[in-house]
Amino acid sequence: MKVQSAPNLKTDSKAKELIKLAHGSGGLLSRELIEKVIKPKFGNRILDRLEDAAVLFLSENLLAFSTDSYVVRPIFFPGGNIGKLAVCGTINDLAVVGAQPLAISCGFILEEGFSFETLNKIIDSMQKMASQTGCQIVTGDTKVVEKGGADQIFINTTGIGVVRIKSSLSIEQIQVGDELIVTGTIGDHAASVFVARQNLPMTSSLESDCAPLFGLLQPLWSLGAKIRFMRDPTRGGVAATLNEIVRGRDFGVEITESLLPIKPEVRGICELMGFDPLHLANEGKAVIVVAPESTEIVLGLLKQHPLGSDACVIGKIVEEPKGLVYLKTTLSTKRIIDLPVGDLLPRIC
Amino acid sequence: MSENEKEKIKALIYCVKSLCNRLPDKINLMEVCGTHTVAIHRAGIKQLLCQKTRLISGPGCPVCVTPNDFVDKAIWYSFQPQTIVATFGDMFKVPGSYSSLAEAQAQGGKVHLVYSPLEAVELAKNNPDKKIVFLGIGFETTAPAVAYSILSARKANLHNFMVLSGHKTVPEALEKIAAHPLLNLDGFILPGHVSCIIGRKPYEFLSGVQHLPGVISGFEPVDILESLCMLYKQIVEGRCQIETQYRRAVPENGNRAALAIMQEVFLPKDSEWRGLGIIPKSGLALREKYSDWDAEVVYPSQIPKPRQHKGCICGAIIMGLKEPEECPLFGNLCHPEHPIGPCMVSSEGTCGTHFSYQIRGRLNESSVSA
């Protein structure tokens, strides 16, 4: 198992390469951190001004606005790291409401003694994800807390996007008979982070699905009202997303066990640990509710993108039982799918 | 799923339904193992059974049958200076007489969750100034690994690692349950994992002495269906044998290496089971030659008198005498976020399973039946 951890922080000769409390003081070292580490990577015309607020020109558009904080442990896991996760998470929150991400803010909370080398790697992958999606990191903040005051690094990202889809995506638009599509295999992120937790004597080739979904979802926006609703099933997994869809509604959801795309490794980990793959977090997947006449075209569009090659229908909106999600098992019996109890895996994102 | 598997499922469902109709009378079957309880609920197998069959969940959830005083001892250790309690995660939230390890940790108790007993040995190696008390919980499935960890600690001359053994053995408990007059059992679905270690033979007293049939089952829905068919067939034909459905994993005489290591380190002792009381020779204590690693010997705890939770009927539920829905606390004061009894804490506990798959979902069979 390859798990990257922060290098040994104890040697004096390396002290220069470590974050000190003064890097968050607002003084000279803060300036140095921004000029030498952050600006060279994130640098763009708006950020470079280093003003108190980024000033954006957005004309008269409908805007989407979203924020999220990231505390994942370990900070490097197969398929990603906390920085990649933070930028992808915000991009995805914007993309599933039909918005094109434009500008992202980034707040770091660093633990004293954190290495610049690791910070650089994290910032690199943040920039890579942002530029891949055509958006910029335009403002940010760095705080340093004393050793033990935080666990290595926490990141907050907030994003602004311009809504490009012509219709409104909302649970209100959902009708009985609509079909449910998931854009790929489920549970990969939670399962891979779980395996990467250092104290687990287990090896696996599994990687997190952490990825920006904008490129995958953008082609669907031309379909307008045929796309009823989208959500990225992060914490709580597909089960939580489906329960949010039906809660208090006049319809229910039926999903079919044999249709669920689940990697054998994820299935194995779930069997071993007693998890339900439907409860596991995803970081590069979307659940899409679509009018049945458009299912084929949506699947066709999704499959043209590398992130959508495993996209498939997993179920449909049904009249009964109202407000509930149920699964048709391989034995054709029925089981209610509810929200997971408690915190299955703390600090998964 | 392949066409072959689909056909097999169809055939098994047909077999279950037709044999069920041929049953002479109403029957009570017990699935002993908590993993089976979960699998039965997850696959909705009860929906396939006729009215004549009642499936009762047995005492096969190790956490659930662990009495309060064991949890109390674990909590006591967690508050001792220079001491860390190492445990599998499923013990973490289990309430003892007064609180749980999770609550103890929030109040400053030292608890470390591990996935393997060897991790606790590593913890001891890496913390030579700390005493590591590992909670040995589980049936024959877990006991060999814990025995191995004790041998590893001895080999490494590691004396800050010790085990508080709460291990229990399944056949002795089945003897008590099979003979229970109120249960009126007609057969057992026997545990797959435990049987991988002990084999088929230790259950033969069930058919021989108690005249009850049993089938050792795997955990896939098709395994359980096939096991039910085998049990029904025995009952319909008036046979009474211990059969193995889970042949791909269960050797007739068990896993010799695992049994040997278990016998090397442990010896049978009388043990208290929640709900079942003290069952002779149903627990595993460390042999005297390993007493240096026995927490009860080298680091005895001092706990107040254990007490039971008012109104909690976990004991009767573990015995199969009551269903979770008959408990006044079930789903009301006691639910997975605020468990009062251990059967609600463990994901394989009868109450937890019933709550997750039945009550919480408020499944209205009539509205969703095919």
CATH of the domain at A207: 3.90.650.10
Give residue A338's pLDDT: 87
Confidence check: pLDDT of A4 > 50: no
CA distance B221 to chain A (A): 8
Q: What is the pLDDT of residue B367?
A: 38
Final residue of a structural domain among A163, A185, A220 = A163
Q: What pLDDT, in 10s, does the model give residues B313-356?
A: 988 888 888 889 999 999 888 888 888 888 888 777 889 888 87
Is residue A88 in a domain?
Answer: yes
- A337 touches B at CB < 8 Å: yes
B13: nearest CA partner in chain A? A331
Point out the residues of chain B with pLDDT beneath 70.
358-370
pTM of the predicted model as reported, rounded to 2 decimal places: 0.84
Indicate whether A26 and A119 sit together in one domain.
yes
Residues A55 and A180 in one domain: no
Does A348 map to a domain?
no
A122, part of any domain: yes
Q: Which CATH superfamily is domain B8-307 in?
A: HypD, alpha/beta domain 2 (3.40.50.11740)
* pLDDT score, position B165: 98
Q: Which of A258, A335, A342 sits opposite B357 (nearest CB)?
A: A335
> To 5 degrees, how large is the angle CA B330–CA B333–CA B337?
90
**What is d(CA A216, CA B77) in angstroms, rounded to the nearest whole number?**
53
- Confirm whether A222 is domain-assigned: yes
* pLDDT recorded at residue A192: 93
A215-274 pLDDT, tens digit per residue, is 999 999 999 899 999 999 999 999 999 999 999 999 999 999 999 999 999 998 888 888
- In the structure, what pLDDT confidence band is assigned to residue A8 with cuts at 50, 70 and 90? very low
Final residue of a structural domain among A133, A163, A193: A163
The answer on A179 and A62 residing in a single domain is: no
Residue A130 lies in a domain: yes
What integer is the mean pLDDT of A329-348? 84
In the predicted structure, residue A340 carries a pLDDT above the cut 90: no
**Domain check: are A185 and A240 in the same one?**
yes
Chain B contact present for A13, CB below 8 A: no
| Residues A149 and A200 occupy one common structural domain | no
Q: Name which of B115, B116, B221 is nearest A331 (Cβ-Cβ).
A: B221
Q: Tens of pLDDT along A108-118?
A: 999 999 999 99
One DSSP character per residue, A151-173 reads SSEEEEEEEEEEE--SS---GGG
Confidence of residue A329 (pLDDT cuts 50, 70, 90): very high
The reply to whether A61 and A202 lie within a common domain is no
In the listed set A105, A134, A163, which residue is the last one of a domain according to the structure? A163
Residue A231 belongs to some domain of the structure: yes
Q: A197-204: long-range contacts at Cβ-Cβ below 8 A with a sequence spacing of 24 or more?
A: A197/A73, A197/A74, A198/A3, A198/A5, A198/A74, A199/B114, A199/B115, A199/B119, A200/B115, A201/B115, A201/B116, A201/B118, A201/B119, A202/A1, A202/A269, A202/B115, A203/A1, A204/A1, A204/A78, A204/A265, A204/A269
B115 shares contact with chain A (CB less than 8 Å): yes
Q: Do A159 and A182 share a domain, yes or no?
A: no
Contacts with B115 from chain A: Cβ below 8 Å: 199-202
Q: Verify that A145 and A179 share a domain, yes or no.
A: no
Residue A29 belongs to a domain with what CATH number?
A: 3.30.1330.10
Specify the pairing of strand B161-165 against strand B131-136.
parallel
Q: Do B221 and A330 touch (CB under 8 A)?
A: yes
Lowest mean pLDDT among A98-107, A130-139, B91-100, B239-248: B91-100
Both A197 and A318 in one domain: the answer is: yes
Position A9 confidence tier, pLDDT thresholds 50, 70, 90: very low
Residue A1 pLDDT exceeds 50: no
Average pLDDT, chain A: 91
Nearest to B48 among A199, A200, A333 (CB): A333
* Residue A6 within a domain: no
Give the closest of B115, B336, B347 to A200, CB-based: B115
Q: Are residues A328 and A187 in the same domain?
A: yes
Residues of A within 8 A of B88 (CB-CB) are none
One domain, residues A183 and A326: yes
Residue type, B184: N
Domain total in chain A: 2
CA of B280, closest CA in chain A: separation in Å?
Answer: 31
Q: Is the peptide bond before B339 cis (omega within 30 degrees of 0)?
A: no
SS3 B161: strand
Per residue in A149-206, pLDDT tens?
999 999 999 999 999 998 889 999 999 999 999 999 999 999 999 988 855 666 778 9
Judged by a CB distance cut-off of 8 A, whether residue B99 touches chain A is no
Are residues A335 and B42, on separate chains, in Cβ contact within 8 Å?
yes
Q: Do A158 and A19 share a domain, yes or no?
A: yes
Please indicate, yes or no, if residue A96 is contained in any of the structural domains.
yes
Sequence spans of domains, chain B: 8-307, 314-362
Q: Say what the pLDDT of residue B366 is.
A: 35
- Chain A CB contacts of B13 under 8 Å are 331-332
Give the range of the structural domain holding residue A180, as residue numbers without chain letter. 171-336
Q: Tell me the C-alpha distance between A28 and A20, whole Å.
A: 12
